[in-house]
């Protein structure tokens, strides 16, 4: 089978969760399929929408197509990206397009696949289809002191006033006009996104929490949604050997952006007694990292000296570079994450996790079972949970030993089992496409309403072990024309 993966970044240029998962999936698929990836780079000295080819630096079987998009931030559809994607489709002729994220690319890529009758599968990693900013956090909250306030749902005017104010002129007498324009912009985007969603054959949600939100809020028909957690290379996560001569050490893995809550982690760490250590891994991000370091320097006592800033690591080295050097992982995100890779990786390595009692974070960590939970966005409660591990390291070891709650063994889903489930989804959408095709024979014939045939049934997920029962909804895409 020929499979074209679509993702808004690819390691090591971009190394967040959706990108890391897509690389792992591409490499696993390449063992028995032909796999190519359509992704982006941002070269400000090259022409917009220029396309070049490369290969995965860790697996030459995976060919990359990189479209240059250094100046498209906040836009959601770009004819130049669509044109380059069409060129890849015409050359590669994939059987399936599997998208992971379209931000920094173009939502109308889906239309390019649909008009060629190529089924589209879409793995949901965040809220970007429902929230133009992707994380349901407000850039300009009503209370200026409530930085990165949580948003309770998408509304056109609220999006304009709380996230797109940065594009307002600033003139008070023009505010109503600016609000009206950006409310309309958001409304048009949401109409377009829902039209695009109709063209997608199957959506994969890696947490039941995320599945429910998309089902209820976009909304997506349940017949298009399937729950399937991520899969992992378990060999890469074996062999942890923690040193015994260090103080209790907390670890953070991820980007240095406000949504990840490092500022709350530092606040909490400064309150913990007993001299623990905090190691923070991630690629530096200029002033954002500088600001976080400044927060650390202001911590009381000698806490600043016990914070270590470490560079990002190659994903295959996570055990030796990270898990061998920590006693617990903290996931302090202030946005409601849905299925963080780091939680799964830590649980597989039998490292306990402290994370927020919210969203998919609490779906995979149960309080006092395989980790500890704190009140979301509360540095004080986070500090209390961290203190428990410092006071009782045996508790941390015991909770870490449980691993992944959704399996009796404590192991997270392995990539091979995950791949089988993905292939079942591909097979289901291909069967549905083929059932939608009508062979036209010499007339006379009678039209059935506006179409030559009834729409095909929704795909069946009955062969997928982790799928919900199909709903009654079905897509109306690709009805054959007379």
In sequence order, the 6+-apart residues with CB closer than 8 A to the CB of 134 are 103, 126, 127, 128
* Nearest CA-CA partner of 20 in 413, 284, 340: 340
Packing angle of the helix pair 156-163, 175-199 (nearest 10 deg): 120
Residue 461 to residues 421, 428, 458, 473: CA-CA distances in angstroms?
Answer: 10, 7, 9, 13
Q: Give the SS3 label for residue 310.
A: strand
Q: What is the pLDDT of residues 53-78, one digit of tens each?
A: 999 999 999 999 999 999 988 889 99
Q: How far apart are CA 282 and CA 262, in angstroms?
A: 11
DSSP per residue, 382-451: HHHHHHHHHH-HHHHHHHHHH--TTSTT-PPPBHHHHHHHHHHHHHHHHHHHHHH-----SS----BTTB
* Per-residue pLDDT at 464: 63
Q: pTM for the full model?
A: 0.89
* Per-residue pLDDT at 314: 87
- Token duo for residue 459: 């795909």
In sequence order, the 6+-apart residues with CB closer than 8 A to the CB of 475 are 198, 199, 200, 201, 221, 224, 455, 458
Q: How far apart are CA 82 and CA 67, in angstroms?
A: 10
* Per-residue pLDDT at 17: 87
- Token duo for residue 430: 């291909």
* Per-residue pLDDT at 476: 43
CATH entry 3.40.50.2000 includes domain 241-402: yes
Q: Which residues of the chain have pLDDT under 50?
A: 447-453, 467-482
Can you give the residue ranges of every domain in the chain?
241-402
Q: What is the pLDDT of residues 350-400, one digit of tens each?
A: 999 999 999 999 999 999 999 999 999 999 999 999 999 999 999 999 999
């Amino acid at each position: 089978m020929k499979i074209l993966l679509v993702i808004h970044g690819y390691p090591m240029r971009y190394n967040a969760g959706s990108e890391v998962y897509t690389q792992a999936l591409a490499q696993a698929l390449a063992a028995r399929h032909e796999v190519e990836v359509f992704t982006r780079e941002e070269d400000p000295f090259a022409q917009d929408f220029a396309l070049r080819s490369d290969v995965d630096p860790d697996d030459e079987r995976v060919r990359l197509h990189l479209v240059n998009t250094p100046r498209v931030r906040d836009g959601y559809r770009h004819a130049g990206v669509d044109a380059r994607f069409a060129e890849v489709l015409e050359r590669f002729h994939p059987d399936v397009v599997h998208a992971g994220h379209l931000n920094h690319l173009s939502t109308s890529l889906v239309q390019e696949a649909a008009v060629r009758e190529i089924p589209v599968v879409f793995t949901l990693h965040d809220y970007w289809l429902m929230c133009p900013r992707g994380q349901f956090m407000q850039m300009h909250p009503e209370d200026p002191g409530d930085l990165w306030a949580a948003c309770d749902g998408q509304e056109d005017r609220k999006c304009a006033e709380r996230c797109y104010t940065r594009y307002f002129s600033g003139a008070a007498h023009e505010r109503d006009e600016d609000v009206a324009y950006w409310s309309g912009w958001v409304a048009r985007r949401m109409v377009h996104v829902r039209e695009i969603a109709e063209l997608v054959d199957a959506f994969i949600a890696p947490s039941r929490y995320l599945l429910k939100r998309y089902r209820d809020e976009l909304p997506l028909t349940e017949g298009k949604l399937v729950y399937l957690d991520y899969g992992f290379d378990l060999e890469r996560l074996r062999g942890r050997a923690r040193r015994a001569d260090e103080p209790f050490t907390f670890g953070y893995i991820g980007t240095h952006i406000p949504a990840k809550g490092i500022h709350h982690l530092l606040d909490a760490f400064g309150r913990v007694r007993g001299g623990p250590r905090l190691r923070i891994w991630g690629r530096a991000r200029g002033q954002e990292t500088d600001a976080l370091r400044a927060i650390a320097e202001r911590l009381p006592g000698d806490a600043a000296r016990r914070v270590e800033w470490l560079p990002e690591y190659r994903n295959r080295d996570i055990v030796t570079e990270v898990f061998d050097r920590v006693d617990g992982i903290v996931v302090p995100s202030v946005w409601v994450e849905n299925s963080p890779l780091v939680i799964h990786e830590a649980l597989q390595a039998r490292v306990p996790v402290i994370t927020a009692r919210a969203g998919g974070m609490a779906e995979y960590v149960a309080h006092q079972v395989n980790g500890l939970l704190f009140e979301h966005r509360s540095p004080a409660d986070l500090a209390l949970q961290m203190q428990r591990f410092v006071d009782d390291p045996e508790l941390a070891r015991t909770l870490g030993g449980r691993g992944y709650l959704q399996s009796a063994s404590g192991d997270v889903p392995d990539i091979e089992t995950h791949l089988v489930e993905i292939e079942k989804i591909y097979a289901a959408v291909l069967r549905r496409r083929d059932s939608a095709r009508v062979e036209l024979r010499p007339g006379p014939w009678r039209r059935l309403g506006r179409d030559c045939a009834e729409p095909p049934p929704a795909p069946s997920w009955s062969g997928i072990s982790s799928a919900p029962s199909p709903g009654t909804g079905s897509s109306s895409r690709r009805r054959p024309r007379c």
